[in-house]
């Protein structure tokens, strides 16, 4: 099978859906001629023109509001938010309008909108361009949240998102845009709420989102060298969350670590760990542990920035302690 970059996979997904459905359009900063700073959308404006690849001024609340209105009135906008950190600027349009319109209109209106943005640290972009803020939107009922972990997921989830009749936020890890993965030529969609068991194991379950799936897989390799069999699971969408697959795995292995690049405090890791505790309690032989990013503004210093995110070595070290039955905290 051919291998393409995550960036190309997103580009293909949007182009295919735009060819299929004339109501789909892209709106955002530097999306047309520039093809976004990460060049994800390069070539689209040449094919679809500036009516459907719409460059906007630097005014996130404005174009987000336009998109919500367009979605309510029959279009399928894809909003390009240059950095995930700019989510704070569109919170009212996204959370108060897009997320609630279907409910508050008694189902008369729907908002088939995709907000694609990014996340991920260690790109030396400092504290305002390095955040992973998916927990903020996952908290709001009415929003779906997809977190592709490779080019294959990026394409399949994007196409599903564009066809979804409710608002979806997709977070792409900006450090993975050039990562290649096998992606079929023929069309495919990845349904939401269906986790992917990347690697089977018996001793511990490593649940990773986005780029943390790679971290979990590398940790599993390290653990295999120590005779510990780790299962790696990618939930692919955190809203909806495929609890059944996660619970089945944890009931099998009796132990789990949830790994995510958002800040650990009040984050995705805590939410998933809590659900496992509630629903698999009597199958747990060790506490379900969280590994998120350090609860600090992401440092600009490369040496410090690298310390803030989970690494395969740290995941493997924690997993080995859990499997050994070590007491992590005083009783």
By CB under 8 A, name the binding residues for another protein: 254, 281-286, 325-327, 330-331
Please state the closest distance from residue 274 (CB atom) to another protein, in A: 14
Cβ proximity to another protein: between 272 and 298 the closer is 272
Is-catalytic flag, 102? no
Residues 6+ apart with CB under 8 A from 86: 60, 117
Cβ proximity to another protein: between 298 and 320 the closer is 320
Write down the residue that tokens 């399949």 correspond to. Answer: 156
Please state the closest distance from residue 58 (CB atom) to another protein, in A: 52
Cβ proximity to another protein: between 1 and 327 the closer is 327
3-state secondary structure string, the chain?
CCEEEHHHHHHHHHHHHHHHCCCEEEEECCCCCCCCCCCCCCCHHHHHCCCCEEECCCCHHHHHHHHHHHHHCCCEEEEECCCHHHHHHHHHHHHHHHHHHHHHCCCCCCCCCEEEEEECCCCCCCCCCCCCCHHHHHCCCCCEEECCCCHHHHHHHHHHHHHCCCCEEEEEEHHHCCCEEECCCCCCCCCCCCCEEEECCCCEEEEECCCHHHHHHHHHHHHHHCCCCEEEEECCEEECCCHHHHHHHHHHHCCEEEEEEEECCCCHHHHHHHHHHHHHHHHCCCCCEEEEECCCCCCCCHHHHHHCCCCHHHHHHHHHHHHCCCCCCCC
Please state the closest distance from residue 286 (CB atom) to another protein, in A: 6
Please state the closest distance from residue 279 (CB atom) to another protein, in A: 12
Cβ proximity to another protein: between 187 and 285 the closer is 285
Catalytic residue among 60, 172, 217, 261: 60
Residue 140 has phi, psi (to 5 degrees) of -95, 115
Catalytic residue among 129, 153, 261, 305: 129
Please state the closest distance from residue 328 (CB atom) to another protein, in A: 9
Residues 6+ apart with CB under 8 A from 67: 27, 77, 79, 93, 113
Residue 15: CA count within 13 A, CB half-sphere: 16
Cβ proximity to another protein: between 123 and 279 the closer is 279
Cβ proximity to another protein: between 106 and 281 the closer is 281
Please state the closest distance from residue 287 (CB atom) to another protein, in A: 9
Please state the closest distance from residue 330 (CB atom) to another protein, in A: 7
Cβ proximity to another protein: between 100 and 283 the closer is 283
Is-catalytic flag, 47? no
| Token digits of residue 50 | 């500036």
Which residues are the active-site residues? Answer: 60, 129
């Amino acid at each position: 099978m051919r291998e393409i970059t995550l960036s190309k996979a997103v580009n293909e997904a949007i182009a295919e859906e735009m060819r299929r459905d004339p109501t789909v359009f892209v709106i955002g900063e530097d999306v047309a001629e520039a093809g976004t700073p990460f060049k994800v959308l390069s070539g689209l404006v040449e094919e679809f023109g500036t009516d459907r690849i719409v460059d906007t001024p630097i005014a996130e609340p404005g174009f987000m509001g336009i998109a919500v209105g367009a979605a309510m009135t029959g279009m399928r906008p894809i909003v390009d938010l240059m950095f995930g950190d700019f989510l704070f600027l569109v919170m009212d349009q996204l959370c108060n309008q897009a997320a609630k319109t279907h409910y508050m209109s008694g189902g008369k209106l729907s908002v088939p909108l995709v907000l694609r943005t990014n996340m991920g640290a260690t790109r030396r972009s400092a504290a305002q361009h390095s955040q992973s803020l998916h927990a903020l939107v996952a908290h709001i009922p009415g929003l779906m949240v997809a977190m592709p972990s490779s080019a294959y997921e990026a394409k399949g989830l994007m196409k599903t998102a564009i066809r979804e009749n409710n608002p979806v936020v997709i977070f792409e890890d900006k450090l993975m845009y050039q990562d290649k993965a096998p992606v079929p030529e023929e069309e495919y969609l990845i349904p939401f709420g269906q986790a992917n068991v990347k690697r089977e194991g018996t001793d511990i379950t490593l649940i990773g989102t986005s780029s943390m799936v790679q971290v979990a897989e590398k940790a599993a390799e390290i653990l295999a060298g120590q005779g510990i069999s780790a299962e790696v699971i990618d939930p692919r969408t955190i809203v909806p969350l495929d609890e059944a697959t996660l619970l089945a795995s944890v009931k099998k292995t009796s132990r789990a670590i949830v790994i995510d690049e958002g800040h650990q405090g009040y984050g995705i890791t805590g939410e998933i760990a809590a659900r496992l505790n509630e629903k698999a309690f009597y199958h747990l032989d060790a506490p379900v542990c969280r590994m998120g990013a350090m609860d600090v503004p992401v440092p600009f210093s490369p040496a410090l920035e690298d310390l803030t995110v989970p690494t395969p070595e740290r995941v493997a070290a924690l997993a080995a302690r859990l499997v050994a039955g070590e007491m992590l905290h005083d009783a």
